[in-house]
Amino acid sequence: MAYVSLYRKYRPQNFEDVVGQAHVTTTLKNAVSAGRVASGYLFCGTRGTAKTTCARILAKALNCIGPDGANTLPTPEPCGQCGPCRSIAASNFVDVLEMDAASHGKVDDVRDLVASIKFPPMEGRYKVYIIDEAHQLSRDAMDAFLKTLEEPPDRVVFILATTELEKLPITIASRCQVFEFKRGTIAQISQRLSQVLQEEGVAAEPQATALVARAADGSYRDSLSLLEQVLAYKRENVTAHDVSLVLGTVDEDVLAHTVGLLAASDAAGVFELAGSVVASGKDIRQFLKSLSGRLRDMLYLSVGAPVATADGLDDSATVRKQAAQFAPADLLRALEIISDAERESRFNNQHRLLLEMTLLRLVRLPSSPAAVAAEPVARIAPAPVAAPAVKPIAAAPIATTAPVAQPIAPAPTPPRAAAPEAPSPAPQPVLTVEAVAPVLAGSPLDSDLLADELVDDEPEEMDALLPGDDIVDILPGDEQAADEGGDSALPSLFTPSIDIPEEDEEPEDLLHVQTVAVTEPPPPVVPTRPALPPDAHPDLLRLQKAWQEVINRMGTRSPSGAAHVRDASPIAIREKTILLQFTGRFHYERMESSEKGRKALEDIINKTLALEPGTYKIKCTMQGENAGIRATPPEPSKQAPRVIEEAPESPLMDEVIAVFGGRVLDEEGSKGY
């Protein structure tokens, strides 16, 4: 027998089987029982929450004739055995028409549909039209459809399903009964997975199913696809470790270790950690995601939120203990830093460097216990209390970085930094001041620079810190920077970058390690994914490279504007519109609400790209706002089981589709839109 994917195999065939949507299924059952079925339903909710499944069950309920063919009325409990039930389950019942608006949303498609409506059902009692991704119907198609919805013929039921209710005209939504499908909680999805595993005869740790559930991010369908991947790897005694291995999530131990390093401000330790994460072949984005999940749990606990209401919260003793080591504000800040890094990782293929810098910034959270307790110079070294076992590698930085870290020292220059004959590579785009600031132990500047990202009710302060057009302005020799008291430590931060270390050299000290990271591209083992398809618009690539320049230019006009731009990233170009994606709602809303600001930014972008004014317009979007629409994932039955690389969503693709319309034609995602 042909292999049937878990998702299809365990697709609910009855209202009772649908998990987590009782508010929908109960209402539908009651309507069927009472003979009060509406002519229009609108099912909305994120993908994988059983919207089309419920639509089909309703179609069966309306058309079931019972195993003996004797039923004359719709039934809330379709038998699943009669001809109509089986045909509907197999999607070949003549009176149940499914249409995917993403691919058939044109007005002609709808006209065909509308034309067929006037004919009575051929085999069943009711004609049922299931229109998936209804928000993707074209404007004309919606108009044509609306007329039918206004005066529906007898015995016709429309069921519209959408992941984006707000994109449907109110005229359509108001003519339907609207049901919101809920995302699955981790507990609900875990339970469902446990049932499936039981029926499959596979034993698994509870933590293993919880991990899968967490990775599914609210989608029942995804959870089964992910489980399928895990089962392809191992079909007995599935452990949490197996799941981490297959899904690329991060082991508990690694997370606990990472948080321990942060609590101990162990800067040297994080380099070691980053190395082992990269060596294990994990995607750093997955690592960052897992870490932010852990920090979120800690934040939850540290503010004393009620545990009972937290879905999937890990409140084990370890997490509780570690949560107590951080102030809530620091955890919040840490989550922001990670969020920044996740965004940057899309455009920056130097993932190892990015990971190292991110962890360093996390280590330097201002009031982590060790940082508060220790002297400025000592803050960069592992705190003896929190890290009793001082690693050999951790001892070196104290000595070698100490002179650099004296805030009042008149910018001492490390001896080996003075090699003028060494080539001085241009700073990588990622080498921003705030990114490197963490190594400046004790400098009064670094915390200001970090705060600078918190943006930004005092833009003047930021301007004072970053004068002029470019970050290069505060490279060695810049008198303005040197004049600002404690800032004198800055030049020595940059000087090591002209020191070219030997390959395979053991890291000796923190600055040296930093130098390695800055001047050498990471080894090819780093798993990289192109942030953009290979045929991305050339101007988009140019713009991404020049984005810092855009930020700088904006800064000369409006410091707060620059802060908003810094939060944004150009992610797509279609025709003459550049799509900017924001991660912070504040920045997004400020930019959206300021026509003047957008105009200024457009001018700067065109100027930076050396194009005529008005060549490109911009469109702002908020990251994750459209994460649900991945343009009609194909039926799992028609595709091979998902491979690991496909498992994460592509927010970039989602954004592009959301803004420009269209759909993914090619599974590879490289040329389909």
- Interface ranges with Zn ion (CB under 5 A): 64, 78-79, 82, 85
Q: How far apart are CA 358 and CA 369, in angstroms?
A: 19
Least distance from Zn ion to the Cβ atom of residue 60, Å:
6
Amino acid at 249: T
Q: Yes or no: say if 277 and 288 are a contact pair by the CB < 8 Å rule.
A: no
Q: Yes or no: say if 64 and 78 are a contact pair by the CB < 8 Å rule.
A: yes
CB closer to Zn ion, 155 vs 234: 155
C-alpha distance from residue 310 to each of 2, 207, 307, 315 (Å): 41, 16, 5, 10
640 three-state secondary structure: coil
372 three-state secondary structure: helix
CB closer to Zn ion, 66 vs 662: 66
Least distance from Zn ion to the Cβ atom of residue 57, Å:
11
CB atoms within 10 A of CB 304: 8
Least distance from Zn ion to the Cβ atom of residue 40, Å:
24
Query: Among candidates 127, 33, 135, which has minimal Cα distance to 77?
Result: 33
Q: Yes or no: say if 218 and 184 are a contact pair by the CB < 8 Å rule.
A: yes
CB closer to Zn ion, 13 vs 488: 13
CB closer to Zn ion, 76 vs 651: 76
Report the relative pairing of strands 577-582 and 568-574 from DSSP bridges. Answer: antiparallel
Least distance from Zn ion to the Cβ atom of residue 81, Å:
6
CB closer to Zn ion, 65 vs 274: 65
Least distance from Zn ion to the Cβ atom of residue 117, Å:
24
Report the relative pairing of strands 156-162 and 177-180 from DSSP bridges. Answer: unpaired
CB closer to Zn ion, 64 vs 363: 64
Output the DSSP codes for 588-607: HHHHHH-HHHHHHHHHHHHH
Task: List, in order, residues 6 or more apart from 199 with CB less than 8 Å away.
Answer: 10
Least distance from Zn ion to the Cβ atom of residue 82, Å:
3
CB closer to Zn ion, 14 vs 615: 14
124: tokens are: 């069943």
CB closer to Zn ion, 85 vs 493: 85
Least distance from Zn ion to the Cβ atom of residue 289, Å:
44
Least distance from Zn ion to the Cβ atom of residue 31, Å:
18
Q: Yes or no: say if 114 and 50 are a contact pair by the CB < 8 Å rule.
A: no
Q: How many CA atoms lie within 13 A of 494 on its CB side?
A: 23
Q: Please state the φ and ψ torsions of residue 541, each to the nearest 5 degrees.
A: -65, -40
C-alpha distance from residue 565 to each of 177, 446, 540, 548 (Å): 41, 22, 16, 9
Type and span of the H or E element at 454: helix 444-454
CB closer to Zn ion, 85 vs 380: 85
Least distance from Zn ion to the Cβ atom of residue 56, Å:
12
CB closer to Zn ion, 77 vs 602: 77
Q: How far apart are CA 151 and CA 134, in angstroms?
A: 19
Q: How far apart are CA 138 and CA 124, in angstroms?
A: 30
Dihedral sign for Cα 532, 537, 542, 544, please.
negative
Least distance from Zn ion to the Cβ atom of residue 59, Å:
11
CB closer to Zn ion, 64 vs 652: 64
CB closer to Zn ion, 64 vs 543: 64
E-assigned strand segments in 512-645: 568-574, 577-582, 617-622
Q: How far apart are CA 237 and CA 580, in angstroms?
A: 46
Least distance from Zn ion to the Cβ atom of residue 6, Å:
24
633: tokens are: 């994932």
Strands across the sheet with 568-574, in order?
A: 568-574, 577-582, 617-622
Least distance from Zn ion to the Cβ atom of residue 92, Å:
15
Least distance from Zn ion to the Cβ atom of residue 71, Å:
7
Least distance from Zn ion to the Cβ atom of residue 80, Å:
6
Least distance from Zn ion to the Cβ atom of residue 50, Å:
19
Q: How far apart are CA 488 and CA 269, in angstroms?
A: 27
Angle at 519 between CA 515 and CA 525, to 5 degrees: 105
Q: Yes or no: say if 177 and 159 are a contact pair by the CB < 8 Å rule.
A: no
Bridge partners (DSSP) listed for residue 96 = 128
Residue linked to tokens 């216990």 = 369
CB atoms within 10 A of CB 354: 25
Residue linked to tokens 């939120």 = 305
CB closer to Zn ion, 32 vs 518: 32
CB closer to Zn ion, 32 vs 82: 82
CB closer to Zn ion, 79 vs 128: 79
